[in-house]
Structure 1
Amino acid sequence: MRHRALRAGSDTCGLAVHRVVVVPLDDTGPVLRPVLLVRRGDDVEAHADAGVTVLPRGELAAWVVAREVDRPRWVWDDTTRWYPELLAAGVRVERCTDLRLAHAVLRRSPHADQGLLTGPDTEGWDALAPVTASEPALFALADPADLLDPAAELARQQATLAASAERARLGLLVAAESAAGLVAAEMQHAGMPWRADVHDRLLTDLLGPRPVAGQRPAELERLLPEIRAAFGQPAMNPDSPTGLLASLQAAGLAVTDTRQWTLAELEHPGIEPLLRYKKLLRLMQANGWAWLDTWVRDGRFRPVFVPGGVVTGRWAASGGGALSAPVQLRPAAVADEGWRFVVADVAQLEPRVLAGMSRDTAMAEAARARDLYQGMVDSGAVETRSQAKLGILGAMYGGTRGESGAMLPRLTRAYPAAVGLVEQAARAGERGEVVTTLLGRGSPRPGAFGGGSDDAAAGRAADARRRAWGRFTRNFVVQGTGAEWASCWLADLRNRLWRIGEGGLTDRPHLVFFLHDEVVVHTPVGLADDVVSAVRASAVEAGRLLFGGFPVDFPLDVAVVRSWADADAPEDDGVPPDGP
């Protein structure tokens, strides 16, 4: 693949990083203009250089197949409204532009001229939401997408990108986001192999036999008398957060919530069985028998992934709980006979991204170690791995107290560019400014912090809100850039996998799961080694796309396994949830 390197200037948060952004160019084949697909009643209009072709709905799949050999870039209003039906017909496309996803990126980016992007139906594009397989979308009645003008939106987006001083970065982000939409649709179409009998056995081992609707499982019923006796509350109901809080306070415990980490700090004989009860209850509610009945069909788990569903650009899930698959149920994910899973996760993604986007050579040197935190110890920056981990997570998430805060001065001396980048992002957030990821995704604007009166309490509350938003923007620039690295990884890997093997999408190695920094590929046994090579090569390419020649490594832990549970579980880096 050939590339063009572009020198970028400074971030919106004011920190000059002098990075190199690399934009991919097509390496083979003719350069073609986009082919725009538009719904018109029961027909499809295909707009291309040759003019407009009108197709009946039933002929679309064959028409797309005939033109896919020329490697066009398909353009449509929303991948979730077009691609599932093509996949069901056995059609896989190489590239697309998803106008909905691209619109969301450009509307939030300070590098996009909103005057060029605005048109009569802009509010409709702002509000357009993805659809799921349970909502037949292509040619659906009363689809709000049909009130929009894709041709006009495409022209506005092209003009906006052309006029942007950061058009290369934004162009790469739009391309990666659109590719992520294809990946999400393909993963839902293919599904993760899932053994319902194994899942049922795991639930039975943990909870007891499947209960009658409305009743607790046997293990919860067994724990309940023990919990009530320990707290001296015969009517205590752990299923009700409000009731549980009242019972804990009545037992003399000074608590204001019933979160797990709050309860874990208490010393009381009833805490251990209560925490076990709550853990099992969450398992039953989130991934119990009702979940199994709903989300596993024909031996496949098909969750609904939402690329860019979080403000930072990370993926979300709108069904199936894909991004919170519990480790204890992973034994139910079993590859088909003659197939294997290739499971890969990148070690310490966000600290490595921080080293790359800040171009901190000392931190990049530590990142050359497979364990970045140990690399920081070996460099002499800190004495222990625990100090390194707590310190760098504190820098990225605003930890200023305890051991995390105590490490910050040492890390600032050792890695001034990296710590300086997140510090400046925090200060910009505290001023109410927008900050951006490496490729130009903009952070939300905060509401008014308040504090303009002489009321001391109001002033303290306003300061607290400023600091909280600063912690959000501090992390936004890193977590968002990590999401961009992951999208580039997925986009490149998707196409490499297609070049391995023969046949349709599910006959070849294909992605079946993605979890922020972890991918699962389902592959024929004989192609597993090729898939491992592809996964590693794509990680290298993602780093090159974002950081050019800057020497920051993204090592992967890769396992070839029959069951997902047989892969080593990724390290818990203590990353908090998204949002301020």
Structure 2
Amino acid sequence: MRVLRDTDRAEGLGALVRDDEAAAPAPRWTWDDTNRWYPALLDAGVRVERAHDLRLAHAILRRSPLTARTPFARADPGPWDGLVPAPAGPPPSLPGAGPAPQGLFELGDIAAPARDGRDARDPHAELAAQEAALAAATDPGRLRFLLAAESAGALVAAEMHHTGLPWRADVHDAILTERLGPRPPSGQRPVLLEALAARIREALDAPPSLNPDSHPSLLKAMQYAGVGVKSLSKWELEEHDHPVVAPLLEYKKLARLLTANGWNWLDTWVRDGRFRPEYVVGGVVTGRWSSVGGGALQLPKDVRRAVVADPGWTLVVADVAQLEPRVLAAMSGDAAMAAAGRGGDMYAGIVASGAVATRELAKVGMLGAMYGGTTGASAAVLPSLARTFPRAIALVEDAARAGERGEVVSTWLGRGSPLPGEPWAQVQAGAYAAEPAGSADAAARARAYTRSWGRFTRNFVVQGTAAEWALAWLASARRRLWDLGEAGPGGTGVFGRRPHLAFFLHDEVVVHTPAALADDVARELRQAAVEAGRLLFGDAPVEFPLTVATVETYADAK
């Protein structure tokens, strides 16, 4: 193991790492934050096989129930607890702005103290403390796997930022023009959006000054016109038969496109034919990723036509079907539920089991079980699901009850949920205080808070374990894609002629690959899914089938 610290930059980091990576076996690099070190290595043409991210590992070990009794978890907050992720690269240049600032360090620079005190943190001491916490954990094997998977995810995220997602700015502009009209001058609405605004005013008999983007003004105008709505949500608007509903719903849809992925987004986030998402690994408490700017995890179908493979290359898009229910079946050891997922569509298998009558009820019921649906169709079918799949339903019910008691729950590999916090505790205490006039209200508030936190912990154990499966899938796919080697048109950089992960969305990946390797990529992604299931759940009889499509543009994958 090689622990990197800032003095290594004076030694010529790229050469140091390149030489060690050529050894067999390759070392595992340990650093404080993958984004602080790896982007510069990738720019220098160096790929790292394995790493240990101290920042990510620290956060897991501090909260995991498996280390709760260790000095590491019980210690007072220290400098590593306040470490925030470094950016994956320089911020995007805004239209009309000067050059983007460069990263804090370049290869060969001598490190200056970071303003956030980052360099005061001793990586050797932190690594030793983490190893001691792992040795004292109640199940160190699971935690070691989780830390390795989380660190591998950080490598993947940095590589996807480095390579970027192929993006045709001209196609994106054509999509916007088709949906909104030609690009307007700054500060003006596109013509088609303005036409919808005029229809809204006409339907409400409102003055030209009414701004549909102002929710208070729009609600007031609708109530004045006799449209009795309390909000502008789609489901409430659709309940009303009024001429304003159709243009307003269309306006809201197009306004979202303009705001989230319009011309300003294109100018800001797409450079040199690439969209470079900045992922935050473990950015959600369940372990799911989030993103900083650019809306990487919310790319609408409207703009996916702009994701087009380079000439001589293609996109292989793979997603796993019903990931969370399959994870629940594996975690709980529910053989009946595992059997329902064999052969493809788990919801169809649930219908075949006799638990429910239709696929829609199977889907609604399982989502209700995992997310705490207590009304409507999900509540109606839950008793039947509990009879058919008792172990699976018991697992999420037990997690909900633990959350209602204010306890920590855990994912399969040991990521711990946060405690409910002081407001929750205050509400619980208030329910039992001597309040003759308000005790009923206090008890009702306590029940609402209790049930709400129970719904969170119910889903935490499933969503968090699904995120762990996805990390294992990414890590396996990353290794397998690299082993396929080089092919196709020439390019520059580490991945210039190699298939590589280009995009990730919870249970879906996009691989940009030389066309000649597309079939090999599809095979390796499927094998990586099998490997991820085996690594997490051993010989549990749960399948993780993929839908795989080889396409020229992302929009054609579904």
Q: Which moved more, 1:109-118 or 1:423-432?
A: 109-118
CA distance in 1, matches of 2:388, 2:75: 52
Structure 1 position 452 matched with structure 2 position 432:
yes
Q: Is the 8 A contact 1:107 1:114 kept in 2?
A: no
CA distance in 1, matches of 2:535, 2:409: 21
Deviation at 1:121, TM superposition (A): 9.2
**What is the aligned counterpart of 1:418 among 368, 387, 392?**
392
1:126–1:250 Cα change, 3 Å: farther
Q: Deviations over 1:88-127 (max 9, x none)?
A: 0010000000000111111111111465326999532112
Partner of 1:103: 58
Partner of 1:25: none
Structure 1 position 88 matched with structure 2 position 43:
yes
How many residues get paired?
Answer: 521
Letter in 1 for 2:50: R
Kindly report which structure 2 residues correspond to 1:37-116, keeping only aligned pairs within 5 A, or say none.
Answer: 37-39=4-6, 43-44=7-8, 56=10, 59-70=12-23, 71-113=26-68, 115-116=70-71
**What is the aligned counterpart of 1:563 among 545, 548, 553?**
553
CA distance in 2, matches of 1:513, 1:144: 33
Q: Deviations over 1:149-199 (max 9, x none)?
A: 111111111000111011111111110000000000000000000000000
**What is the aligned counterpart of 1:384 among 353, 358, 365?**
358
Partner of 1:197: 170
Deviation at 1:238, TM superposition (A): 1.5
Partner of 2:477: 493
Letter in 1 for 2:307: A
3-state DSSP class of the match of 2:4? strand
3-state DSSP class of the match of 2:78? helix
1:120–1:432 Cα change, 3 Å: closer
Higher strand share: 1
3-state DSSP class of the match of 1:519? strand
1:460–1:254 Cα change, 3 Å: farther
Kindly report which structure 2 residues correspond to 1:266-285, keeping only aligned pairs within 5 A, or say none.
Answer: 266-285=240-259
CA distance in 2, matches of 1:242, 1:441: 42
CA distance in 2, matches of 1:360, 1:526: 41
Q: Deviations over 1:457-488 (max 9, x none)?
A: 12111111111111111111100000000000
Q: Is the 8 A contact 1:121 1:148 kept in 2?
A: no
**What is the aligned counterpart of 1:429 among 386, 396, 403?**
403
Partner of 2:501: 511
Kindly report which structure 2 residues correspond to 1:347-386, keeping only aligned pairs within 5 A, or say none.
Answer: 347-386=321-360
CA RMSD of aligned residues (A): 1.6
Partner of 1:523: 513
Deviation at 1:269, TM superposition (A): 2.0
Q: Structure 1 unaligned segments of length 5 or more: list them.
A: 1-33, 45-54, 569-580
Letter in 2 for 1:522: H
Letter in 1 for 2:311: E
1:377–1:121 Cα change, 3 Å: closer
Partner of 2:117: 144
Q: Structure 2 unaligned segments of length 5 or more: list them.
A: 92-102, 106-110, 487-492
Deviation at 1:61, TM superposition (A): 0.4
Q: Is the 8 A contact 1:35 1:72 kept in 2?
A: yes
Partner of 2:529: 539
Partner of 2:153: 180
Q: Is the 8 A contact 1:113 1:160 kept in 2?
A: no
Q: Is the 8 A contact 2:212 2:218 kept in 1?
A: yes
Partner of 1:313: 287
CA distance in 2, matches of 1:279, 1:114: 51
Structure 1 position 134 matched with structure 2 position 90:
yes
Kindly report which structure 2 residues correspond to 1:247-258, keeping only aligned pairs within 5 A, or say none.
Answer: 247-258=221-232
3-state DSSP class of the match of 1:558? strand
CA distance in 2, matches of 1:79, 1:105: 16
Q: Is the 8 A contact 1:295 1:302 kept in 2?
A: yes
3-state DSSP class of the match of 1:186? helix
3-state DSSP class of the match of 2:451? helix
* TM-score normalised by length of structure 1: 0.87
Deviation at 1:415, TM superposition (A): 0.2
Q: Which moved more, 1:127-136 or 1:410-419?
A: 127-136
3-state DSSP class of the match of 1:159? helix
CA distance in 1, matches of 2:446, 2:68: 31
CA distance in 2, matches of 1:395, 1:233: 46
CA distance in 2, matches of 1:392, 1:458: 32
3-state DSSP class of the match of 1:560? strand
CA distance in 2, matches of 1:170, 1:263: 48
Partner of 1:12: none
Kindly report which structure 2 residues correspond to 1:213-292, keeping only aligned pairs within 5 A, or say none.
Answer: 213-234=186-207, 235-292=209-266
CA distance in 1, matches of 2:334, 2:356: 17
Letter in 1 for 2:126: E
Q: Which moved more, 1:559-568 or 1:452-461?
A: 452-461
Deviation at 1:148, TM superposition (A): 1.1
1:254–1:150 Cα change, 3 Å: farther
Q: Which moved more, 1:143-152 or 1:87-96?
A: 143-152
Structure 1 position 326 matched with structure 2 position 300:
yes
Partner of 1:574: none
Q: Is the 8 A contact 1:501 1:527 kept in 2?
A: no
Q: Deviations over 1:32-82 (max 9, x none)?
A: xx110011xxx32xxxxxxxxxx625x110110100123100000000100
Letter in 2 for 1:343: V
CA distance in 2, matches of 1:387, 1:489: 29
3-state DSSP class of the match of 2:541? coil
Kindly report which structure 2 residues correspond to 1:395-414, keeping only aligned pairs within 5 A, or say none.
Answer: 395-414=369-388
Q: Is the 8 A contact 1:220 1:280 kept in 2?
A: yes
* TM-score normalised by length of structure 2: 0.91
